[in-house]
């Protein structure tokens, strides 16, 4: 057994500039070249503990590192140097960068799901405001996709515009410049536009810029950089929070059968006149099984669902999604099926009301089990 095999594997979180270069075991998550520095290559590395660090290979070390470190693969790395993080180049909050090259050893290790496949450092609104206009800093952002559109600047520079809604119910625009929007490994537009709603996108390494337009819809705008990657429905807690926060569960039926369905934000807003997030946060009841008051207030309205069905690849169950509803005019009573919400047993009231965050991640039931909504329905109580 050689010396490197008995040396302790170092955690990335413990590394500091000028620290000893103990062996590390990591997955290569992303690779890119920083702007105006084509003789440098950056690597985002993540370890089993979920911590990330950026490694940089320069000059004669660049091709050696590129040939020996492949994206998505796992390695034991030795012979690196811990250095101060570089302004304009570093994309993470870690205080150190790793300098790697011909003096380094990259030993492939077995693939393991213990090493995360993705790594993000999502920004809060406070951080976005703080770094606005600061070209030295970039951040990651996640949100529910509302719109994809081709645009151009006043100087006719083309870009793809993404409108995202974050967990605080705020919309923000992301501008993907052509070096990202035209590269399918960075931005798979076909997969994103073909995905079933809801679509959550995580966008990495974006700069925060002042945004100005005639309509003034957005206070800030996020710009892609050379390090930007766009992830579709990433595997992380915030994805589940976003999907849960902007949806309601229901059962819909016609004269043939019924099916469980998920109603998302745009449909719910038309249906009850209030967004899902507000339906949660403005509720005065702490009993999450009760029917929200705005739902009860739409008694007598007739509604048409526009539903999309798909088969779950794991369970084989049919999943039904409602992205749109229209208030249909129906003249014949036979065209309607009605629903009658039943009394829901109240659960004991907690001593304190749930916090906003606790409420936000709970899934609301539009109606308790046993009640139905229909393709064309009238709400009664």
Is 118 a domain residue?
Answer: no
Quick one: average pLDDT of 326-339?
Answer: 49
pLDDT at 123: 87
What are the two backbone dihedrals, phi and then psi, of residue 131, each rounded to the nearest 5 degrees? -95, 5
Structure tokens at 101: 């090259």
Is 114 a domain residue?
Answer: no
**CB atoms < 10 A from the CB of 141, how many?**
21
Q: Which of 116-125, 238-247, 252-261, 356-365 has the highest mean pLDDT?
A: 116-125
Is 115 a domain residue?
Answer: no
Q: Is the pLDDT of residue 351 over 60?
A: no
The CB-side HSE value for 126 (13 A sphere, CA atoms) comes to 0
Q: Which one of 41, 73, 108 terminates a domain?
A: 108
Q: Reduce the DSSP state of residue 2 to 3 states and report it.
A: coil
**Cβ–Cβ < 8 Å for 373, 250:** yes
Q: Is the pLDDT of residue 132 over 80?
A: yes
Is 200 a domain residue?
Answer: yes
pLDDT at 31: 96
Is 64 a domain residue?
Answer: yes
What are the two backbone dihedrals, phi and then psi, of residue 177, each rounded to the nearest 5 degrees? -75, 165
Cα 173 to Cα 159, 296, 298, distances in angstroms: 12, 35, 33
pLDDT at 42: 96
pLDDT at 365: 36
Residue 224 burial (CB < 10 Å; 0-12/13-18/19+)?
buried
Same domain, yes or no, for 92 and 202?
A: no
pLDDT at 285: 57
Same domain, yes or no, for 11 and 55?
A: yes
Q: Which one of 73, 108, 143 terminates a domain?
A: 108
Same domain, yes or no, for 231 and 251?
A: no
Q: Is the pLDDT of residue 371 over 70?
A: no
Grade residue 341 by pLDDT with cuts at 50, 70 and 90.
Answer: very low
Q: What is the pLDDT of residues 253-288, one digit of tens each?
A: 666 777 777 777 777 777 777 776 676 666 655 554
Quick one: average pLDDT of 69-76?
Answer: 96
What CATH code is carried by the domain that includes residue 198? 2.40.50.140
Q: What is the pLDDT of residues 209-263, one digit of tens each?
A: 876 655 554 468 999 999 999 999 999 989 988 887 767 777 776 667 777 777 7
Nearest to 279 by CA among 199, 169, 165, 379: 169
Q: Which one of 50, 75, 108 terminates a domain?
A: 108
Q: Is the pLDDT of residue 117 over 60?
A: yes
Higher model confidence: residue 148 or residue 129? Answer: 148
Same domain, yes or no, for 174 and 205?
A: yes
Q: How many structural domains compose the chain?
A: 3
Higher model confidence: residue 372 or residue 324? Answer: 324
Same domain, yes or no, for 213 and 98?
A: no
Nearest to 295 by CA among 368, 358, 356: 368
Nearest to 123 by CA among 92, 97, 84, 96: 92
Quick one: average pLDDT of 140-161?
Answer: 93
Is 119 a domain residue?
Answer: no
CA distance 324 to 334: 23
Place of tokens 């207030």: 297
CA distance 46 to 119: 7
Residue 377 burial (CB < 10 Å; 0-12/13-18/19+)?
buried
Same domain, yes or no, for 186 and 89?
A: no
Same domain, yes or no, for 250 and 360?
A: yes
**CB atoms < 10 A from the CB of 199, how many?**
20
Is 294 a domain residue?
Answer: yes
Is 120 a domain residue?
Answer: no
Grade residue 373 by pLDDT with cuts at 50, 70 and 90.
Answer: very low
**CB atoms < 10 A from the CB of 88, how many?**
13
Same domain, yes or no, for 368 and 283?
A: yes
What are the two backbone dihedrals, phi and then psi, of residue 362, each rounded to the nearest 5 degrees? -85, 145
Cα 174 to Cα 248, 323, 374, distances in angstroms: 27, 23, 37
Give me the domain span that covers residue 223. Answer: 125-241
Q: What is the pLDDT of residues 17-30, one digit of tens each?
A: 998 889 999 999 99
Nearest to 196 by CA among 158, 270, 247: 247
Quick one: average pLDDT of 40-51?
Answer: 96
Same domain, yes or no, for 92 and 167?
A: no
Same domain, yes or no, for 268 and 301?
A: yes
CA distance 78 to 80: 6
Q: Is the pLDDT of residue 338 over 50?
A: no
CA distance 19 to 282: 51
Q: Is the pLDDT of residue 115 over 90?
A: yes
Same domain, yes or no, for 234 and 186?
A: yes
Same domain, yes or no, for 151 and 215?
A: yes
Average predicted confidence (pLDDT) for the chain: 78
Q: What is the pLDDT of residues 157-194, one digit of tens each?
A: 999 999 998 888 788 999 999 999 999 999 999 999 98
């Amino acid at each position: 057994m050689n010396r490197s095999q008995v040396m302790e594997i170092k955690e990335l979180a413990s590394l500091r500039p000028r620290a000893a270069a103990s062996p590390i075991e990591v997955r290569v998550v992303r690779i890119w070249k920083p702007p105006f520095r084509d003789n440098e290559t950056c690597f985002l590395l993540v370890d089993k503990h979920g911590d990330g660090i950026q490694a940089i290979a320069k000059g004669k070390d660049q091709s050696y590192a590129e040939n020996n470190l492949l994206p998505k693969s796992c390695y034991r790395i030795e012979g690196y140097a811990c250095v101060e993080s570089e302004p304009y180049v570093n994309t993470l909050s870690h205080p150190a960068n790793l300098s790697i090259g011909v003096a380094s050893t990259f030993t492939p290790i077995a693939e393991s799901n213990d090493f995360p496949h993705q790594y993000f450092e999502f920004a809060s609104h406070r951080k976005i405001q703080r770094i606005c206009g600061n070209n030295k800093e970039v951040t990651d952002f996640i949100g529910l996709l509302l719109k994809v559109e081709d645009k151009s600047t006043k100087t006719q520079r083309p870009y793809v515009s993404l409108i995202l809604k974050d967990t605080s119910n705020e919309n923000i625009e992301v501008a993907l410049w052509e070096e990202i929007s035209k590269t399918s490994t960075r931005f798979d537009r076909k997969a994103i536009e073909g995905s079933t709603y809801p679509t959550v996108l995580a966008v990495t390494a974006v700069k925060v810029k002042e945004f100005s337009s005639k309509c003034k819809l957005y206070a800030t705008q996020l710009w892609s950089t050379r390090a930007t990657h766009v992830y579709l429905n990433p595997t992380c807690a915030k994805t589940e929070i976003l999907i849960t926060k902007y949806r309601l569960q229901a059962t819909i039926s016609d004269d043939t059968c019924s099916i469980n369905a998920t109603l998302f934000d745009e449909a719910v807003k038309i249906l009850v006149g209030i967004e899902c997030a507000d339906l949660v946060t403005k509720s005065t009841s702490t009993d999450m099984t009760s029917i929200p008051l705005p739902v009860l207030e739409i008694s007598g309205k007739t509604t048409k669902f526009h539903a999309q069905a798909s088969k779950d690849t794991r369970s084989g169950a049919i999943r039904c999604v409602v992205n749109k509803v229209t208030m249909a005019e129906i003249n014949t009573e036979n065209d309607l099926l009605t629903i009658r919400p039943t009394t829901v047993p109240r659960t004991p009231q907690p001593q304190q009301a749930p916090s906003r965050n606790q409420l936000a991640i709970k899934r609301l039931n539009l109606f308790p089990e046993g009640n139905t909504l229909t393709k064309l329905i009238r709400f009664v109580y």
